[in-house]
Structure 1
Amino acid sequence: MAVPLPTLHDGRIGLRPIRVRDSKTLERELLGNRTWLRMWEATNPYGAGQFDVRGSIRSLLSQGRQGTALPLVMEYDGEFAGQLNVSGIVYGSVSSATLGYWVAERFAGRDITPVCVAMVTDYCFERLGLHRMEICIRPSNHASLRVVEKLGFRYEGLRRRYIHINGDWADHFCFALVREELNESILSRWKGHRVPPDACVIPESDRRAASLPLRTYPNR
């Protein structure tokens, strides 16, 4: 099922579908923010892939046409500020998706990411009829942890060596929201200071576990 790609706005902050003609801008931003993004960038465990921004955009748009993704650009005053992708969209008895994002360093601290995460999650719940949205974050990514804390995503657990990041398998904390937890939009709940204060609490045992290497066994 094809999924409509939304254009959403809240004041100076906006989301729109990514376009193939964004390739030069995207490449410039990725290269210019290389140091800022490297620690959180997903990598290929089987070797470095080709840096093909135009091909990456076409792949994302293909997933959008197949109904499995929402590939979007975050903007501030109409300027390219980062990317937000809703991926792994499934319907039926699961009706869920996963959300990921990055923002350029010069736009950090302007609440662009939480506003965009809130807007697109509201869209997925209210317009697409999804039931659950998940966000997975590295334990050391404090800026991203603040996003889910602000919006009241509920902590669900530690995923050991979950995604290959910056050259190695990295632990992630998992957060989610389901529609039954909300009696208003996520954006209005946050702006109205009605986010439950304890939704995002991470048990100290999980914080300790994430700081320790995973016990491994030699091949037999």
Structure 2
Amino acid sequence: MEEPALLQHGRVALRVIHRRDADPLRSLLERNRQWLRRWEATHPSGRGAEPGSVSMRPTVRLLRRQLSLGSGVPFVVLHDGEVVGQLSVSEVSGGALQSAQLGYWVSEHVAGRGIAPIAVALAIDYLFHELGLHRVEICIRPENTASLRVVEKLGLRAEGRRDAYIHIDGAWRDHDCFAVTREESGGTLLGRLS
């Protein structure tokens, strides 16, 4: 998969993750430990380090590998040029499916400023118009009111609950699934925020 150019709207941008982002992301995750812990994936065996407690270099390498294989598109979220979060497109499928899943987080110090909805809209518009995908899905824990507001602002369709879907913060957690198709997007999701 070809690396996308910078995606930007106003003060918010998405840029493909690079090795130089490993240290800023580790630092950001460490500072946001309490803010993010409830939403982060964990290994069911209890193995694995907390994000931010170890080097992010292996994670960045893995994400870059997914990009080269065409199975994912890893972005950092920028606000005024500063790394303030991460947005990952995963499970990119071609063939008859033409779909992807999307996950994201932003630092607590910029939460509530409309950064996440813009970042998500930029990513989905890219997936529909540049990669030609048909459907994008976002799964969110029902307790995550901030992320639920993002999909509400963008008008994504609720598809129902997936019980015990992902191992998060030490247990199997339910997630509500939201989706949008290219036809439903009306041309641009970014336009829904205007």
TM-score bracket, normalised by the shorter chain, equals over 0.9
- 1:34 alignment counterpart: 33
- 2:146 alignment counterpart: 143
- 2:81 alignment counterpart: 78
What does the per-residue CA deviation read over 1:141-192, in whole Å, with 9 as the maximum and x for residues that have no partner? 000000000000000010000000000000000000011213221111231x
- 1:21 alignment counterpart: 20
Identity %: 52
- 1:123 alignment counterpart: 126
Contact 2:17/2:74 (<8 A) preserved: yes
- 1:207 alignment counterpart: none
Q: Structure 1 residue 98 and structure 2 residue 97: aligned? A: no
Looking at structure 1, the residues matched to 152 and 185 of structure 2 have their Cα atoms a distance apart, in angstroms, of 15
Contact 2:22/2:55 (<8 A) preserved: no
Contact 2:23/2:55 (<8 A) preserved: no
**TM-score normalised by length of structure 1:** 0.84
What does the per-residue CA deviation read over 1:45-81, in whole Å, with 9 as the maximum and x for residues that have no partner? 0222144410000000000000010100001000011
**TM-score normalised by length of structure 2:** 0.95
Matched letter for residue 159 of structure 2 = E
Number of positions where the alignment pairs a residue of Structure 1 with one of Structure 2: 190
Q: Which has the higher contact order (CA 8 A, sep 6+)?
A: 2
Contact 1:89/1:98 (<8 A) preserved: yes
Q: Cα distance, 1:31 vs. partner? A: 0.6
Contact 1:122/1:186 (<8 A) preserved: yes
Looking at structure 1, the residues matched to 2 and 162 of structure 2 have their Cα atoms a distance apart, in angstroms, of 29
**Consecutive aligned runs of 4 or more in structure 1 exceeding 4 Å deviation:** none
Contact 1:98/1:135 (<8 A) preserved: yes
Q: Cα distance, 1:22 vs. partner? A: 1.1
Higher mean C-alpha deviation, range 179-188 or range 14-23: 179-188
- 1:201 alignment counterpart: none
Matched letter for residue 192 of structure 2 = R
**Backbone CA RMSD of aligned residues:** 1.0
- 1:114 alignment counterpart: 117
